[in-house]
Amino acid sequence: MPHFAVSAVGVDRPGIVAAVTGILVGQGCNLEDTSMSILRGHFAMMLLIAGPDGTKAEELEAALTATAGDLDLVLTVRAIDDTVPVSLQGETWTVSVYGADRPGIVYEVTKLLADAGANVVDLTTRVIGGADRPLYAMLLDVTLPPGVNGGDVRDRLDGLAGSLGVDCSMHPADADVL
Amino acid sequence: MAVRPVLSLPAPVLKQAAASVGRIDDAARALATDLIDTMRASPACVGLAAPQIGVSQRAFVIDVTGHKKAVSCHGEVVLFDPEVMLAHAPEVAREGCMSVPDYTGDVVRATRLVVRGFDVDGRDRVLHVDAFEARAVQHEIDHLDGMLFLDRVSSHHSVFRRKTYR
């Protein structure tokens, strides 16, 4: 079955998920991994779906745009490779960074992590607090490849946080399989 | 003596409350042996409950020997008809389950526990466990009640992909 990446963003209101997924079901598609959340009052959907053989991305996008038009969503559909790539394996660590909002926090932190060989597997950022004193909060799960010492990465992250004027913490988050 | 296949979701037996074992007879002892053999067949496995090998009876095995998060350690323990007598000092930690492929989740468990049950000779056994051993016991007892860690996660933000993806 061909696979597609579907994205949809629009001002949040009840019924967006039902509208979009209803169209996909009608087209014979099956939802696989998805992530959907409200981002600053906008509902953002990222869906990886499988469609029946012969499905075309343009036709799927046209069907979604026609029916979900009332919801004023920005929609895209792209064909993707059917094979599931395997991400970097290693230890899982959770990182949190927070402080006064300023440009470049995500870039500086993820650049340091990338240079250390860490792979970001999940990342969420939020601007919280009042407009007069916005606080930036970022939460990440990262995978460290074998041979990379989490404590060393944490020390470097502490140094960076100091120079950015933000706080950060990093701790192992490997699960115990029982 | 047999290594049995470990069932994973959506096997219905994993969502059933298991029956009490009652008298510890040869059949119960054979079940204990299968649980131990199956646990030993997976080097990373520190515990297994009977429903995970398709037997809806209240029995589990644990062994946290050598685990880095273990404080109390009673070695290899088989308990039939276990009951939690006392549980306190809750703590959140991330756990996974051999019966739930791909996912792990943050689950609150008591870090100090008194549990009572019967051993393979039918003798009453009371264990005081803490830290990782307490978590393992609670995870296994949950299996006997048809509960999985997915039923315990505090929110969907507490559920994560396991390291190996498919």
pTM score of the predicted model: 0.78
What is residue B162's predicted lDDT score, i.e. its pLDDT? 63
Percent of chain B residues past pLDDT 70, beyond the cut: 92
Interface predicted TM-score (ipTM) of this complex, two decimals: 0.76
| Residue B102 pLDDT class (50, 70, 90 cuts) | confident
Q: Do B95 and A122 touch (CB under 8 A)?
A: no
What is residue B156's predicted lDDT score, i.e. its pLDDT? 62
B113 near B137, Cβ under 8 Å?
yes
Instruction: Using a CB–CB cutoff of 8 Å, tell me whether B23 touches chain A.
Output: no
B32 near B24, Cβ under 8 Å?
no
* Mean pLDDT on B23-41: 97
| Separation CA B55–CA B109 (nearest Å) | 25
Position with higher pLDDT, B56 vs A40: B56
Q: Do A178 and B46 touch (CB under 8 A)?
A: yes
* Mean pLDDT on B89-97: 91
A76 near A21, Cβ under 8 Å?
no
Question: What are the per-10-residue average pLDDT scores of chain A (178 residues)?
Answer: 96 95 96 94 96 96 87 94 84 92 92 96 88 88 94 96 92 84
Name the helix (H) or strand (E) containing B144: helix B131-144
Reported in sequence order, the residue ranges of A51-172 that DSSP labels E, i.e. its strands, are 74-80, 91-100, 119-128, 135-144, 167-172
| Separation CA B162–CA A66 (nearest Å) | 38
Instruction: Using a CB–CB cutoff of 8 Å, tell me whether A92 touches chain B.
Output: yes
Chain B residue closest to A142 (CA)? B163
What is residue A174's predicted lDDT score, i.e. its pLDDT? 79
What is residue B165's predicted lDDT score, i.e. its pLDDT? 37
Percent of chain B residues past pLDDT 90, beyond the cut: 78
Q: What is the pLDDT of residues B1-30, one digit of tens each?
A: 699 999 999 999 999 999 999 999 999 999
Nearest-CA distance from B97 to chain A in Å? Answer: 5
Closest Cβ opposite residue B161 in set A90, A121, A178: A121
> What is the set of active-site residues of B?
140
